[in-house]
Amino acid sequence: MSTGVVVAMGITLFGKVAVRQSRHPGSGSSLAIRIILMQIWAMSNTASTRTGVTIRLAPEVLGRLRGIAEAEHRSVAGYLEMLIERELVAQDNAERVVHIHVAPEFVDVPQGALNREPGESAERYELRRTVLDGLFGKS
C-alpha cells in the first residue's frame, strides 16, 4: 500500500493519520519519523488482514481461559485464535476420513463377502455391493 505524505501548517499527513510536528529544534529526528511510519505501516497491514470478533463468556469460563492462556504464554485472544484454527484443521481432516463403527458382536468377524439380505433383489444387492466396495476401496 503506498502512503501519500502531505505537509501543511506543521501537520504531516500519512494516508489517513495526522502527526503534529513539534516546534522544538531537534525533535523531528529521522528516528522518530521512522518509528511513526513503521507503526502506521504495521497498523494498516494488520487492520486489513485481521477482523475482530466480540464474544460473551461466563466469568468462570473466562477465568479458566486466562489460566490456560497464561500457562501457554499466550494472550486470551491468541489462545482463542489458536483453538479456532486447530478446530478448523480438525474439521478439514474429518471431512476426508470415514469412521466405521462396528457393532460389538461383529468385532471379531473378519471382513468378507457381502451377504444378500433375505428378499433383496439382485439390483438392490448389486447397488449395495458397489457402494460398500467404493467405501472400502475395493473398486
How far lies 121's CA from each of 114, 118, 125, 139, in Å?
A: 14, 9, 6, 21
The reply to whether 63 and 35 lie within a common domain is: no
Per the domain annotation, does 76 fall within a domain? yes
Q: Give the pLDDT mean for 10-36.
A: 59
The reply to whether 36 and 17 lie within a common domain is: yes
Query: How many domains in the chain?
Result: 2
Per the domain annotation, does 15 fall within a domain? yes
Quote the domain boundaries for residue 88: 59-94
Banded pLDDT at 10 (limits 50, 70, 90):
very low
Is the model's pLDDT at 87 over the cut of 50?
Answer: yes
The reply to whether 12 and 37 lie within a common domain is: yes
Per the domain annotation, does 66 fall within a domain? yes
Per the domain annotation, does 117 fall within a domain? no
Quickly count helices (H) and strands (E) in the chain.
4, 3
- Give the β-pairing of 5-8 and 17-20: unpaired
The reply to whether 22 and 42 lie within a common domain is: yes
The reply to whether 37 and 10 lie within a common domain is: yes
Q: What letter does residue 23 receive in the DSSP assignment?
A: S
For 56-67, what is each residue's pLDDT tens digit? 999 999 999 999
pTM for the whole thing? Answer: 0.38
Banded pLDDT at 43 (limits 50, 70, 90):
low
Per the domain annotation, does 108 fall within a domain? no
Per the domain annotation, does 77 fall within a domain? yes
Per the domain annotation, does 9 fall within a domain? yes
